[in-house]
Structure formats: C-alpha cells, structure tokens
Amino acid sequence: MPEGDSVWRAAAQLHAALAGHQLTASDFRVPRFATLKLAGWTVDEVVPRGKHLLMRLRSPAEERLTIHSHLKMEGAWQVYPPGGRWRKPGFTARCVLRTATADAVGFSLGILEVVRTADEDSVVGHLGPDLLGPDWDMEEAERRLRAAPEVPIGVALLDQRNLAGIGNIYRCEACFLSGIHPAAPVSDVTDLPAMMATAKQLLEANLGPGRRTTVLNPRGMPVGRMAGRPGYWVYRREHQPCLKCGTPIRHGVLATQAGTEERDIYWCPSCQPPPAGTD
C-alpha cells in the first residue's frame, strides 16, 4: 500500500499538470459515476490527505466537487501528453481526465468517488493528523495513540485514525530507529513524540524520486545518503545483518487491531528486544 510520501508525490504531479486548467473531457469507469461528465469544469487544486488524494474542481456556475481517490495496493495516477500512449493496460483505468495540455489517468484505484467539496469530511474526516500536512498536530496524534495503550505500536502506527501517512515501510523503519519492537504495546513507548518525529523526517526526506530510509543514522539524525548501503534499515532485509549491530534481521507478521489482516514486520532482535511473551 502506498505510503504518505508516494501520495504526496502523486498529488504534486497531478496538481502541476491539471491545476488551473479546464477539463475537456472526463471518463469515470466505475458504475456509480459512469454518467458523470465534468467537461468545462476547472481543476482548482490537487491535495494529499494522508494516503488519500483530493482533486477539487469548480464549475462555470461556481459549483464545487471533489474527486476522492485512494490507491490501496495496486493503484496509480499517471500523467501523459494529450493522446499519449498509456503505460498500463486500458482495462485497469478507472478515471480519465483530459485537458488541452495533459491526460491524467487513474489505474486500479482502490477508491474512486465524487463528493461535494463541502462534504469532504465524509470521506477523510476520520483521519488523524497528517504527518505531511500543513496542520500536523503531534499532541493530538499522541493523544489518539495513548487512548489505546494496550494496542501494539506497530498496529497503532498503521491506524490512519491515529495519524495519517504511515504505511508498512515507515512503521518498520520508525520502530527500528526508535529501538522499539513493533509488537510492543503503546504503553511501552515512553517517547512517542520522538518516534513520530522520526517517521515525519523519513517521510519528508523521501518526497523526491525514489525512497531510502538509511538517510538517517540510528539516532534519527539526517546524515545524507550513504553510498553502498541498502535503502532500508530493516524492511525486507530478513536474515541480513543489522546495519547497527550485525544481528540478522527477523521477519514476522502482526495482526491489525480488528484481527482481520496480518501485515509483515521486520526488526532486529538485539536493537529491538521483543516484549515478554512474544518471539
């Protein structure tokens, strides 16, 4: 599932291509909005909210609508020159927006819906503070995390109702850099603000092309990109030596709070001792 930095980059690309331009055609390839035509509407802006994309449009009559999308696991927005050949199969396209200067195509979108801009809270109002948002509120995010002290921190960080933007990569890396096992309960994390600050640094450091998290040293301080090292501290590095202590990295799964889904976790058993009763 895309992380907050990926969504931020997608929003920036779409905003640069579409903002201020009038749509010449729209094609929603989902049953609920198949008859909706937005030709003549102007794209005012495209903004990220956690892992969600909000494309705000205005009609000649000053009506306001928002195209809300979520990439989920497989989704992507791509921008092409007018009439450009798509790099993904046409049958996976869910939304096509055309202007005089660009075509924007949303492929395999996990969520695609159109709401009145005044009703955006109905689709993103449940989200916690956005780590990459202009209104990031660390105190509110900590309050939400602390409200369920028994929940594993690795689960709590993925719950977008607590704070928005962290996916599996950054929860694994932030836990490692904080010396906390992902299965440890929130109550065991004495310095949540420091952990969130680390996650925020990681996200902000990767707003450009590509992604690495070894841009930070084990104390969470920026040191620049490190030549010759892998891109991650622990993520997908099972059996490889820890970059801090040399202990082989471990891999496991951690169930969501509802217990309906398991997600991979990676950790160093020396740098992140597991809580009592876990392996």
For the annotated catalytic residues, the residue numbers are: 2-3, 51, 263
Cβ 245 vs Cβ 269: under 8 Å: no
CA distance 75 to 89: 12
Q: Which two tokens stand for residue 39?
A: 């030709």
> What HEC string does 98-152 produce?
ECCCCEEEEECCCEEEEEEHHHCHHHHCCCCCECCCCCCCHHHHHHHHHCCCCCE
Strands 93-98 and 103-107: antiparallel
Cα–Cα distances in angstroms (integers) from residue 117 to residues 65, 100, 113, 139, in the given order: 5, 24, 12, 28
Angle at CA 166, nearest 5°, toward 165 and 171? 170
CA distance 106 to 111: 10
Using a 10 angstrom Cβ sphere, with 0-12 exposed, 13-18 middle and 19 or more buried, the burial of residue 191 is: exposed
Cβ 96 vs Cβ 105: under 8 Å: yes
